């Protein structure tokens, strides 16, 4: 363990189970085949954050490599969609609302925060229901909610749209950018430059979806999956579960996060999703390109709440700045410090790419917790 | 984005069955329970809250663990800021 590693271990010590962490780390070391290299993808950006914050790489053997997955909603949103959202904010008598995470995501003409400083009416909300409330409070304006997020967040948008209809609110719409995790995992598995051995599955997404949707990963691709929680011990146990499967030559879906994740998911939330949304034929993801049936849109019955129906949006594909290698980082092909802009032009104060904005983004996690160590070892 | 904040159910509203009042570290706010099954909650139960909605019911010890996890991740302030920021069901405010 390096000196930098030792200093980062203090985060682990703040936890309730330092002894258990050591025990699981030892068990992992006993389970791995020293002659083999393991590449395990943690799908969720929350896991990426936890891994770097707690220095978990330092307790893993050198031949166990964690690859960061696409589970960061603002990271995978392509610039063209950010521009479309911001085009709504430039409409007369229109208020665009979005979560705090979105406020610093760069579009072609700037971030929502910068456009707001230039006079656009863009407001941060903590809940889609706050956006609906704003529409009720400002009947002379139109209020649009810039909806992002995976299955954890999409049901809340669905219920908000249902509530808007129930209340008869007419000056409210949603710009839907909800994406679903399974098609992204499938795209990664089908990608020729991706060599992965196993997956640590997302925690809070799975409270909604349950574990069943991941079974194809084990059954069709022969890769182990462990749905895991976000504490250091959870993440390490998830890693141990998939390593044990690999050693036994097995591939199945295990649930490390049983205390939160029911195998069948959240039926009420799944009903809300099915009532309001349908799958888009395809959707563009930053780094992963167009993925079929990977995103949600409002059903035709809710067209009056659909910002894409209500507004004429530019709908222009925008490539990322050429020097920025967000796509390669998102696919796990490059580590953040291998990007030419990392820590230089692109930093948390002035993010060039969305991966540097959100705490779930791999670049932001590296920058905050691993930058010095990486620079030394690069 | 996938922040899940533990809160304890402290009040029901018979005329607004979609809402319950929760206590999150002394801050009381109303949240929507439309993503839970009807009748799933009782006073004193703990829920995980995400963008103004109760996402799932959890045990008290899991709620405590979740709060500890948010602290260790440095996200506890952000979580309180989020809960304080809910404006959709105006309330009589905080009790500190």
Collapse the DSSP code of A275 into the 3-class scheme (helix H, G, I; strand E, B; otherwise coil) and give the result. Answer: helix
Whether the per-residue pLDDT at A237 is higher than 50: the answer is: yes
* Measured distance CA(B3)–CA(B49) in Å, rounded: 8
Whether the per-residue pLDDT at A71 is higher than 60: the answer is: yes
Do A215 and A253 touch, CB atoms closer than 8 A?
Answer: yes
State the pLDDT at residue A369: 86
State the pLDDT at residue A12: 42
Nearest Cα to Cα of residue A294 among A149, A182, A151: A182
Whether the per-residue pLDDT at A373 is higher than 70: the answer is: no
The rounded mean pLDDT for chain A is 91
- Residues of chain A with C-beta less than 8 angstroms from the C-beta of B58: 259-260
Tokens 């020097």: give the residue.
Answer: A323
Closest-CA distance, A126 to chain B, in angstroms, reads 6
State the pLDDT at residue A371: 56
- Residues of chain B with C-beta less than 8 angstroms from the C-beta of A208: 55
Of B35, B82, B87, the CB nearest to A155: B35
Question: Inter-chain contact A260–B56, Cβ cutoff 8 Å?
Answer: yes
Residues B59-83 pLDDT 10s: 999 999 899 889 888 889 999 999 9
Residue A343: both structure tokens together? 């820590």
* Measured distance CA(A174)–CA(A12) in Å, rounded: 41
**In terms of C-beta density within 10 A (0-12 exposed, 13-18 middle, 19 or more buried), how is residue A246 classed?**
buried
Identify the band that residue A3 occupies on the pLDDT scale cut at 50, 70 and 90.
very low
- Residues of chain A with C-beta less than 8 angstroms from the C-beta of B89: 129, 133
CA-nearest residue to A15 within chain B is B72
ipTM of the prediction: 0.93
State the pLDDT at residue A321: 78
Of A46, A127, A132, the CB nearest to B86: A127
Identify the band that residue A378 occupies on the pLDDT scale cut at 50, 70 and 90.
very low
pLDDT, greater one: A320 or A172: A172
Tell me, yes or no, if B39 comes closer than 8 A to chain A by beta carbon: no
- Tell me the count of A-B CB pairs closer than 8 A: 124
Q: In sequence order, what E strands does chain B have?
A: 5-12, 19-24, 27-32, 46-50, 53-58
Of B36, B81, B82, the CB nearest to A268: B36
Question: Inter-chain contact A126–B86, Cβ cutoff 8 Å?
Answer: yes
Question: Inter-chain contact A159–B34, Cβ cutoff 8 Å?
Answer: yes
Identify the band that residue A81 occupies on the pLDDT scale cut at 50, 70 and 90.
very high
Which residues, other chains included, contact A314 with Cβ-Cβ below 8 Å and sequence gap of 6+? A80, A83, A84, A87
Question: Inter-chain contact B73–A267, Cβ cutoff 8 Å?
Answer: no
Closest-CA distance, A153 to chain B, in angstroms, reads 7
Question: Inter-chain contact A128–B1, Cβ cutoff 8 Å?
Answer: no
State the pLDDT at residue A17: 74
CA-nearest residue to B83 within chain A is A126
Q: What are phi and psi of B58, to 5 degrees?
A: -135, 165
- How far CA A219 is from CA of A182, A212, A214, A215, A251, in Å, comes to 14, 11, 9, 6, 7
Identify the band that residue B96 occupies on the pLDDT scale cut at 50, 70 and 90.
very low
Residues A85-118 pLDDT 10s: 999 999 999 999 999 999 999 999 999 999 999 9
Identify the band that residue A246 occupies on the pLDDT scale cut at 50, 70 and 90.
very high
Helix A232-248 with A45-53: angle, nearest 10 deg = 110
Residues A126-177 pLDDT 10s: 999 999 999 999 999 999 999 999 999 999 999 999 999 999 999 999 999 9
Do A124 and A150 touch, CB atoms closer than 8 A?
Answer: no
Closest-CA distance, B4 to chain A, in angstroms, reads 8
State the pLDDT at residue A163: 97
Kindly state the helix (H) or strand (E) to which residue A52 belongs, with its residue range. Answer: helix A45-53
* Measured distance CA(A159)–CA(A98) in Å, rounded: 17
**In terms of C-beta density within 10 A (0-12 exposed, 13-18 middle, 19 or more buried), how is residue A35 classed?**
exposed
Query: Residue range A41-66: average pLDDT?
Result: 93
Query: Residue range A360-375: average pLDDT?
Result: 77
State the pLDDT at residue B61: 92
* Measured distance CA(A366)–CA(A364) in Å, rounded: 5
Closest-CA distance, B67 to chain A, in angstroms, reads 11
The pTM (predicted TM-score) of the whole model is 0.93
**In terms of C-beta density within 10 A (0-12 exposed, 13-18 middle, 19 or more buried), how is residue B44 classed?**
exposed
Residue A114: both structure tokens together? 């910068």
Tokens 């996402």: give the residue.
Answer: B55
Residue A76: both structure tokens together? 């995978």
How far, rounded to the nearest angstrom, does the alpha carbon of residue A141 sit from its chain's CA centroid?
32
CA-nearest residue to B80 within chain A is A126
Residue A349: both structure tokens together? 């104060």
Identify the band that residue A1 occupies on the pLDDT scale cut at 50, 70 and 90.
very low
Give me the half-sphere count of Cα atoms (radius 13 Å) on the Cβ side of residue B84: 12
State the pLDDT at residue A54: 87
* Measured distance CA(A185)–CA(A196) in Å, rounded: 11
- How far CA A83 is from CA of A196, A292, A352, in Å, comes to 33, 22, 15
CA-nearest residue to A48 within chain B is B73
- Residue B49's DSSP bridge partners are B5, B54
State the pLDDT at residue A5: 39
Tell me, yes or no, if B51 comes closer than 8 A to chain A by beta carbon: yes
State the pLDDT at residue A16: 59
Which residues, other chains included, contact A304 with Cβ-Cβ below 8 Å and sequence gap of 6+? A170, A173, A310
């Amino acid at each position: 363990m390096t000196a930098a590693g030792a200093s980062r271990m203090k985060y682990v010590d703040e936890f309730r189970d330092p002894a258990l962490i050591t025990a699981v780390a030892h068990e992992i070391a006993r389970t791995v085949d020293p002659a083999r290299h393991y590449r395990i993808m943690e799908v969720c950006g929350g896991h990426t954050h936890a891994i770097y914050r707690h220095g978990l790489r330092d307790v893993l053997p050198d031949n166990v490599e964690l690859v960061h997955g696409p589970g960061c909603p603002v990271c995978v949103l392509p610039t063209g969609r950010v521009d479309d959202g911001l085009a709504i904010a430039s409409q007369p008598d229109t208020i665009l609302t979005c979560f705090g995470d979105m406020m610093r995501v760069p579009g072609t003409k700037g971030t929502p925060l910068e456009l707001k400083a230039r006079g656009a009416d863009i407001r941060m909300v903590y809940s889609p229901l706050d956006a609906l409330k704003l529409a009720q409070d400002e009947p002379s304006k139109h209020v649009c909610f810039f909806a992002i997020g995976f299955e954890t967040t999409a049901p809340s948008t669905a219920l908000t749209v249902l509530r808007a209809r129930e209340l008869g609110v007419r000056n409210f719409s949603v710009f839907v950018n909800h994406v679903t995790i399974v098609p992204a995992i499938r795209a990664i598995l089908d990608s020729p430059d991706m060599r992965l051995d196993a997956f640590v599955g997302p925690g809070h997404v799975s409270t909604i979806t349950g574990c069943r949707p991941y079974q194809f990963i084990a059954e069709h691709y022969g890769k182990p999956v462990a749905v895991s929680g976000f504490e250091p011990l959870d993440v390490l146990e998830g890693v141990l579960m998939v390593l044990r499967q690999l050693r036994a030559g097995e591939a199945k879906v295990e649930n490390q996060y049983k205390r939160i994740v029911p195998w069948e998911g959240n039926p009420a939330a799944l009903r809300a999703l099915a009532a309001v949304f349908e799958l888009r034929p395809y959707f563009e993801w930053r780094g992963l390109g167009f993925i079929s049936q990977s995103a949600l849109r409002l059903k035709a019955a809710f067209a009056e709440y659909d910002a894409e129906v209500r507004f004429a949006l530019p709908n222009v594909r925008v490539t990322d700045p050429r020097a920025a290698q967000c796509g390669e980082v998102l696919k796990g092909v490059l580590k953040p410090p291998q990007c030419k802009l990392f820590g230089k032009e692109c930093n948390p104060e002035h993010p060039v790419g969305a991966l540097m904005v959100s705490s779930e983004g791999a670049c932001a996690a590296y920058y905050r917790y691993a930058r010095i160590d990486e620079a030394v070892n690069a | 984005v996938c922040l899940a904040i533990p809160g304890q159910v402290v009040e029901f509203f018979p005329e607004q069955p979609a809402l319950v009042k929760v206590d999150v570290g002394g801050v009381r706010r109303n949240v929507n329970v439309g993503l839970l099954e009807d009748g799933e909650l009782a006073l004193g139960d703990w829920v995980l809250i995400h963008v103004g909605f109760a996402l799932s019911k959890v045990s008290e010890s899991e709620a405590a663990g979740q709060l500890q996890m948010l602290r260790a991740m440095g996200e506890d302030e952000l979580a309180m800021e989020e809960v304080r920021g809910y404006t959709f069901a105006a309330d009589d405010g905080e009790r500190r």
